[in-house]
Amino acid sequence: MTTITTPPTELEDVRATTATDKRRVQKKELWRNRGLLLPAVVFLILLTQIPFLTTIGFSLTKWNLLYPNDRAFAGFDNYTSALTSGDLWPSIRATVLITAFSVTLAVLFGLLFAVLLDRQFRGRALARTLMITPFLIMPAAASLIWKYSMFDTNIGMINWVLRSLHLPVVAWSTEHPMATVVIVLTWQFTPFMMLILLAGLQGQDKGILEAAQVDGAGAWRTFTWITLPHLRMYVEIGVLLGSVIILQVFDPIAILTKGTGGTKTLAYLLYERAFIGLDVGQAAAYGVVTVILTIIVATIALKSVFKVFMAGGSR
């Protein structure tokens, strides 16, 4: 039994041609849109990837600036030295501890101030402006302010209060180096957390709060059962972004403690190898390891942030 095939009609040919032309136009439009982004992509590659590739090249060489003519290919010796020298893992531990303590305290104080500034009172706009000031100060300037105005054993405000109460003077940078760095970072990043949480409080449905009040729920029960679950998305965003930023902090460690007392973070370890030890090869190896660890943390953070946004705060 033979099958009789019907030749395509003229209408079908027109439809096929129209679909092909439409796909061709869409492709051209897509490449035109990509072309608009091309200068930014090229600039980003020149600004970030080429220096990173150069750093990888330096990490494979034996090069100490104290002996500039003694330069040779070292292979993975610098990475082996970085992983086995005993300096990398304490630096990772210090980085994790400083980041964890600073972010946790900044979130708690940020939540407190956000709740206070969400209320109506005279001068609220001025209070909000003053509260975000620490986050606008450069890290080096903030560290110097705290070092001399607050922590100094002779003229510092904290020790002046201790002397007034007939308590012993505390040399903060030497006796409590970890606490010193955490206090400065908490002071500086509390406004950052406060702004994120304040945005969450102002986006809360007031009708739900009024309904809870009508049902007899007190302030504490309303806060713990309604407000805190609503703020979960904003807390996660603040924690993730704050962690990525604080992981790279250098100025407070360099100015306040110089890496002593368990405060030598990855950023300060890299600086120490490059500008104090003048070992370009080893410093580059530490830099590559630091970048890889930062990329891992940033990737996890970005995935978590995207999940939070996709969830839309419904969890």
pTM: 0.77
Label the pairing between strands 71-73 and 61-63: antiparallel
Domains and CATH numbers, the chain: 19-73 (no CATH), 88-263 (1.10.3720.10)
Q: Is the dihedral of CA 22, 25, 29, 30 positive or negative?
A: positive
The answer to whether residue 310 scores a pLDDT higher than 70 is no
Predicted pLDDT of residue 276: 84
Each residue of 157-197: pLDDT tens digit? 998 999 999 888 888 888 899 999 999 999 999 999 999 99
Predicted pLDDT of residue 273: 86
Nearest to 173 by CA among 156, 151, 146: 151
User: What single DSSP character describes residue 139?
Assistant: H
State the average pLDDT over residues 131-146: 89
Per DSSP, the three-state class of 63 is: strand
Predicted pLDDT of residue 290: 82
Q: Residue written as tokens 């809870």?
A: 212
- Write b or e for each residue in 42-71: b if 16 or more Cβ atoms lie within 10 A of its Cβ, otherwise e: eeeeeeeeeeeeebeebbbbbbeeeeeeee
The answer to whether residue 124 scores a pLDDT higher than 50 is yes
Query: pLDDT band for position 12 (50/70/90)?
Result: low
The answer to whether residue 200 scores a pLDDT higher than 70 is yes
Query: pLDDT band for position 37 (50/70/90)?
Result: confident
- 275's CB contacts (< 8 A; 6+ apart) are none
Predicted pLDDT of residue 105: 94
Predicted pLDDT of residue 199: 87
Nearest to 101 by CA among 217, 15, 159, 187: 187
Q: What angle do CA 308, 311, 315 make, to 5 degrees?
A: 95
**Cβ atoms within 10 Å of 105's Cβ, excluding its own:** 18
